[in-house]
Amino acid sequence: MQSDDKPITKQKFMEELYRYKKGSVSRRHFLGVTGLGMASAVMGAAVPGLRPRPAFAAGDIGDRVVLATWPNYHDPANFDAFTEATGAYVQVNVFGSNEEMLAKLQAGATGWDVFVPTNYTITTYVGEDLIEPLDTSLIPNYDPKAYDPRFSDAGSVDGKLYAVPKDWGTTGFVVNTKHTNGVKVDSWKQFFDMTKNEFSGRTMVHDYQLTTIGNALKYFGYSFNSVDEKELADAEKLLIECKPHLFAISSDYQPAIRNGDAWMSMAWTGDGKQLNNDMPEIIYVLGKEGGEIWSDYYAVPKGAPHRAAGYALINFLLDPQVNAKEVLAHGYPSADAHTNALLPEELLNDPILYPAQELLNALEFGAAVTLTDPNRAELMARFKSA
Amino acid sequence: MTQRTRNLLLLAPAGTWFLVMLVVPLTVVLVFSFGERGAAGGYVPAFTLEQYANLPARWAAFKNTLILAPVGTFAALVIAYPLAYYLAVKASPKWKTLLLVLVIVPFWTSILIRSYAWIFLLGGRGIPALLEWIGIEGVRLINTPFAVLVGIVYGYLPLMVFPIFVSLDQLDKRLLEASSDLGATKLRTFLQVTLPLSLPGIATGSLLVFILLMGEFLIPALLGGGKVFFVGNALVDLFLQSRNWAFGSAVAATLVIIMLVSVTLYMRLISKLGAQREDVSLM
Tell me: the pLDDT tens digits for B108-167?
889 899 998 999 999 988 999 999 999 988 888 999 999 999 999 999 999 999 999 999
B154 found inside a domain: yes
CA A329 to chain centre: 11
CB count within 10 Å of CB B107 equals 12
Report the alpha-carbon distance of residue A17 to residue A31 in Å, rounded.
10
Contact present, A253 and A96 (Cβ < 8 Å): no
Asked if the C-beta of B233 comes within 8 angstroms of chain A's C-beta atoms, the answer is: yes
| A381/B242 CB distance under 8 A | yes
**Banded model confidence at residue B240, pLDDT cuts 50, 70, 90:** confident
Q: Give domain A169-293+354-385's CATH number out of 1.10.238.10, 3.40.190.10, 3.30.310.50, 3.30.465.10.
A: 3.40.190.10
Question: CB-based contact (8 Å) between B227 and chain A?
Answer: yes
Contact criterion met (CB below 8 Å) for A119 and A297? yes
Chosen for mutation from A213, A261, A376, A382 (greatest number of chain B CBs closer than 10 Å) is A261
Name every chain A residue with its beta carbon within 8 A of the beta carbon of B39.
372
Domain locations along chain A:
1-40, 64-167+294-348, 169-293+354-385
Output the CA torsion sign for A111, A102, A366, A170: positive
Whether residue B60 and residue A99 make contact (CB cut-off 8 A), yes or no, is no
Q: Are A363 and A170 in contact (CB under 8 A)?
A: yes
Q: B149: domain CATH number?
A: 1.10.3720.10
Q: What is the pTM of this model?
A: 0.84
- Among B237, B238, B244, B249, the strongest candidate for a mutation testing the A interface, having the largest count of A CBs within 10 A, is B237
B237/A381 CB distance under 8 A:
yes
Q: Is residue B34 part of a domain?
A: no
| Structural domain includes residue B25 | no
Chain B contact present for A97, CB below 8 A: yes
Q: How far apart are CA B24 and CA B27, in angstroms?
A: 5
SS3 call for A70: coil
CB contacts, 8 Å: A209 with chain B? 241
Helix B59-85 to helix A374-385 angle, to the nearest 10 degrees?
40
CA distance B202 to B195: 9
**Sequence-ordered strand ranges (E) for chain A:** 64-69, 89-94, 114-115, 156-157, 160-161, 163-176, 203-205, 246-249, 264-268, 282-285, 291-299, 363-365
DSSP letter for each residue of B1-43: --HHHHHHHHHHHHHHHHIIIIIHHHHHHHHHTTSB--TTSB-
Domain membership flag for residue B3: no
Residue B78 falls inside a structural domain: yes
Q: What is the mean pLDDT of chain A?
A: 90
User: Does residue B202 form part of some domain?
Assistant: yes
Residues of A in contact with B28 (CB under 8 A): none
Name the band, by pLDDT with cuts 50, 70 and 90, for residue A228: very high
Q: What is the pLDDT of residue B283?
A: 37
The whole-angstrom distance between A173's CA and the closest CA on chain B is: 18
Q: Where are the alpha helices (DSSP H) in A132-228?
A: 188-196, 209-219
Amino acid at the residue B73 = T
The answer to whether the Cβ–Cβ distance between A99 and B243 falls below 8 Å is: yes
Per-residue model confidence (pLDDT) at position A59: 72
CA distances in angstroms from A361 to A227, A244, B240, listed in the order given = 22, 33, 33
- The domain A64-167+294-348 belongs to what CATH superfamily? Periplasmic binding protein-like II (3.40.190.10)
pLDDT at B214 over 50: yes
Partners of residue A382 in chain B, C-beta under 8 Å: 57
Asked if A64-167+294-348 and A169-293+354-385 have one fold, the answer is yes
Tell me the average pLDDT of chain B. 91
**Rounded to whole angstroms, what are the CA distances from A349 to A64, A224, A282, A354, B165?**
38, 27, 19, 7, 67
Of the candidates B40, B57, B64, which has its C-beta nearest A382's C-beta?
B57
Domains held by chain B: number: 1
pLDDT digits (tens, 9 = 90+) for A257-301: 999 999 999 999 999 999 999 999 999 999 999 999 999 999 999
Interface ipTM above 0.90: no
Considering only CB atoms, A385 lies closest to which of B37, B125, B234, namely: B234
**Chain B nearest CA to A182, separation (Å):** 23
Domain that holds residue B159: 59-280
| A17: contact with B, CB 8 A cutoff | no
Residue B123 touches partner A, C-beta closer than 8 Å: yes
Work out the pLDDT band at B282, boundaries 50, 70, 90: very low
Cβ–Cβ gap B61/A385 under 8 Å: yes
Distance to chain A for B278, nearest Cα, Å: 47
A106–B42 C-beta distance less than 8 A: yes
Strand partners for A186: none
